[in-house]
A and B are shown apart, each in its own frame.
Chain A
Amino acid sequence: GQNIDQPTEMTATEGAIVQINCTYQTSGFNGLFWYQQHAGEAPTFLSYNVLDGLEEKGRFSSFLSRSKGYSYLLLKELQMKDSASYLCAVRDRYRGSTLGRLYFGRGTQLTVWP
């Protein structure tokens, strides 16, 4: 099974930088995803890491350390529209097939204040 842990809530001000941490325990790690979910909407894909290191995508970056079972999502130059839940999801290896099941954390609710 999978055990994924992330903070429940975080707050920050517009223009600031925020880091959302995620720790996981998994058998057969095959990638880590971050999704953004606004209230009442479906999750949308933000980033993917499978190797150690930092992946940068505009204002968003994601970091992975497989040996530590740790990832973070870094959001820079925060905007009001970044207020949302951020979901960490770990993919496993399923019987050597191409399918990988995603296991989600409960999400971190980020509130950005003006």
Chain B
Amino acid sequence: SQTIHQWPATLVQPVGSPLSLECTVEGTSNPNLYWYRQAAGRGLQLLFYSVGIGQISSEVPQNLSASRPQDRQFILSSKKLLLSDSGFYLCAWAASFEGNQPQHFGDGTRLSIL
């Protein structure tokens, strides 16, 4: 069966510091991969998605970036964090031919910027 791992679970970082969140998927090949952010009291916002290695699309302009160095690895990064980057970050995967297949979420990373 397929599983998705996301780490760390919680992270406290100072303003201006770099960020690297990692997500890996097991048990499937060539998944579509997604990064979302959920700010307090707001809905899930799609940040990045990827249909294959090295293929990244950005949904919103921001100081974050994403990379997909391997088929089942998705990384969210920042060179300099802002206070507004605080939130709950979720990685998700879906079968490459989605049809009626849902997106499945990792456990999330709660990021607090001080």
Contact = CB atoms under 8 A, between A and B. Distances in A.
A101 B102 contact: no
Provide the main secondary structure of the chain B interface: loop
A72 to B, nearest CB: 18
A89 B94 CA distance: 14
A102 B103 contact: yes
Contact of A101 (B43, B59, B107, B108): B59
A97 B98 CA distance: 10
Interface string A82-96: 000001010100000
Interface of A: 4, 31, 33, 35, 40-45, 48, 50, 87, 89, 91, 97-107
Interface of B: 32, 34, 41-46, 49, 51, 59, 90, 96-98, 100, 102-108, 110
6 contacts: A31-B100, A35-B102, A41-B108, A43-B90, A43-B105, A103-B46
